[in-house]
Amino acid sequence: MKPLHALSLALCLAAGPALADALPSWNSGDAKARITDFVASVTDPASPDYVTPAARIATFDNDGTLWAEKPVYFQFLFAIDRLREMAAADSSVLSTDLLRAAAEGDMETVAAAGEEGLLEIVSTTHSGLSVEAFVAEARAWLQEARHPQSGMAYDAMIYQPMLELLRYLRDEDFKTYIVSGGGLHFVRAFSEEVYGIPPEQVIGSTGNASYAVIDGVPTVTKDPGIFFLDDKAGKPLAIEARIGRRPIFVGGNSDGDFEMLEWATAGEGPRFGLIVHHTDAEREFAYDRDSHVGRLGRGLDEAEARGWLLVDMARDWARVWPGE
Amino acid sequence: MKPLHALSLALCLAAGPALADALPSWNSGDAKARITDFVASVTDPASPDYVTPAARIATFDNDGTLWAEKPVYFQFLFAIDRLREMAAADSSVLSTDLLRAAAEGDMETVAAAGEEGLLEIVSTTHSGLSVEAFVAEARAWLQEARHPQSGMAYDAMIYQPMLELLRYLRDEDFKTYIVSGGGLHFVRAFSEEVYGIPPEQVIGSTGNASYAVIDGVPTVTKDPGIFFLDDKAGKPLAIEARIGRRPIFVGGNSDGDFEMLEWATAGEGPRFGLIVHHTDAEREFAYDRDSHVGRLGRGLDEAEARGWLLVDMARDWARVWPGE
């Protein structure tokens, strides 16, 4: 054996696990190579693109980026189920035509009410109880509820390639955050167990809240009304307020993530923007610019020019679900 | 040497640095012992009070807890200096009687305007520029401005015993946060350098903000108006929203910290509440229930019954400032 070969072998043996494929559910190709090349360049102290661990911030949208979002946002299905349960206990909760329509499953009326209608239903079903009680409700629902088409538990409809990406980034000393248009407490109900992302690294939309000592117990209560919508321009604002640094790695799937991608990738130094493009009608769903959830138009048009990676789910992912 | 002695010696040698005094600026006595006993009990895996590292959350107020706050909050002195600078460039900024009085140094009028007046001055001087530009302004001010009585730089008027406490907790795998009534971006301007607390672990009051692409540059701008006041009941609400876990160690100094202490120490398992009592007119300032800043009345009355440690600055601290 020549000395150089012996050295290579020794290095390979020493490096061992680091050389294992960190992204086994990503097909070999441009998408996977761009991700691993970027991570290699920012983590190699000898690279001109080296980034210190403290600045390795990665943020990901949730609905449509880390888990599925069809036929509608899963949190909305939780809200409808919870509305029915609340109405069964006390029908006076159905105080508007919209709430009555929602409880009856009249989704046409609900859809016609648009985002405002959605927020009314979420606000009604996500208030009047302590944060702890709400999180317990969300967890109980996730245990029992099943997706109308796949029959899977909702928190099993997460994307295996994205789980691997999260773990890979953390192994390379990135701090991974969720930045979701969905509700903060709803996402926290499963983020740690499912994604390995602790509560302090979840950013989401929030309702009003109040603090009071109730029957001797200091309690944070979820109140009606929306306090902050973590969507579109709200995402960079929330990241700035919560993290105080621009992420160097950002992942999204819809135009609701556009501003987050735009702001993060405009920062100095190396940046990586990623958009999950839902191209896989067979294994998941195929949709983009004409979808009522997860609409992707501008991001699709501008990704290439902006240097963002457009992940083609059908082409780039060897599998979709962890249970496959 | 008897076997047990040999073992003790070996353990001492092995433990080495851990046995060094982590809190050299705290006088020996009850306060110091209570802190170190608590930390020992929650970090010892064999203790019934053991807490996993992930749950070792510690939150501290800033003004009066980590740095001084007399004669008034330092951020307010920054706001006045900045108002004068803004007025020198464009006098139209002095659009109200209060702002004119503040720029002229008429502190009686300013004081008479109470909290609302203070917020008007802060809002005026903390808006109309990007977050980055604001932080640069705050840093430049901290470099140049000097305290009217001590002649010290403001960020030198930090409490050495509290710096040691922060470091000690971090060495014991606590995650240390600031939860300040002061402005998020003002505190971030020095928190990492001065306290070793990174931007994502600073919670503070926030003004309105907006996101826009300005001259091709994606920018987060500080706008007029208060978005969230991180004081009193706002503190537990902000901690819940930002961290999502109840701290097990909390430090404050005024009744603005009461709800944070109350909520945190009501959690299950071991909890530590600490109040810095300003008893030291010689080395710092002496004030509590009658002070217009850092008023401490209820906390003083209830600390003992609630099991919170009341730190007597004059008695418990061997030194106050790092530069001493």
B43-99: pLDDT as tens digits: 999 999 999 999 999 999 999 999 999 999 999 999 999 999 999 999 999 999 999
pLDDT at A31 over 60: yes
Q: Are strands A249-252 and A286-287 parallel, antiparallel or unpaired?
A: unpaired
Q: Which tokens is B89 given?
A: 């460039």
Residues 6 or more apart whose Cβ sits within 8 Å of residue B30: none
pLDDT value of position B115: 87
Condensed to tens digits (0 to 9), the pLDDT of residues A246-298 reads: 999 999 999 999 999 999 999 999 999 999 999 999 999 999 999 989 999 99
pLDDT value of position A115: 87
pLDDT at A207 over 50: yes
pLDDT value of position B309: 98
Query: Collapsing DSSP states into helix, strand and coil, what is residue A26?
Result: strand
pLDDT value of position A9: 47
Nearest to A242 among B198, B200, B211 (CB): B200
The total of other beta-carbon atoms located within 10 Å of residue A253's CB is 28
Mean pLDDT of chain A: 94
C-alpha R_g of chain A: 21
| Interface residues on B facing A, Cβ-Cβ cutoff 8 A | 54, 131, 175, 184, 188, 198-200, 202, 206, 209-213, 217-218, 220, 233, 236-237, 240-245, 259, 262-263, 266
pLDDT value of position B107: 87
Of the residues A237, A245, A246, A250, the best mutation for testing chain B's interface (the one with the most B CB atoms within 10 Å of its CB) is A237
What is the ipTM, given to two decimal places?
0.93
Chain B residues within 8 A of A200 when measuring between CB atoms: 175, 242-245
pLDDT value of position B12: 44
Residue of A nearest to B264 (CA): A218
Are B305 and B262 a contacting pair, CB within 8 Å? no
Judged by CB atoms closer than 8 Å, whether chains meet at B233 and A243 is answered as no
Among the residue ranges A18-22, A97-101, B104-108, B120-124, the one predicted with the least confidence is: A18-22
Mean pLDDT of chain B: 94
Nearest to B244 among A200, A212, A266 (CB): A200
- The helix or strand, by DSSP H or E, that contains position B32, with its residue range, turns out to be helix B30-43
Nearest to B211 among A200, A245, A263 (CB): A263
Query: Collapsing DSSP states into helix, strand and coil, what is residue A195?
Result: helix
Judged by CB atoms closer than 8 Å, whether chains meet at A245 and B202 is answered as no
Percentage helix, strand, coil for chain B under 3-state DSSP, each rounded to 5 = 50, 20, 30
Phi then psi dihedrals of residue B154, to 5 deg: -60, -40
Are A210 and B233 a contacting pair, CB within 8 Å? yes
pLDDT at B109 over 70: yes
Condensed to tens digits (0 to 9), the pLDDT of residues A302-323 reads: 999 999 999 999 999 999 999 8
Percent of chain A with pLDDT over 90: 91
CA distances to A197, A318, B320 from A160, in Å:
15, 9, 53
The residue behind tokens 């167990």 is A193
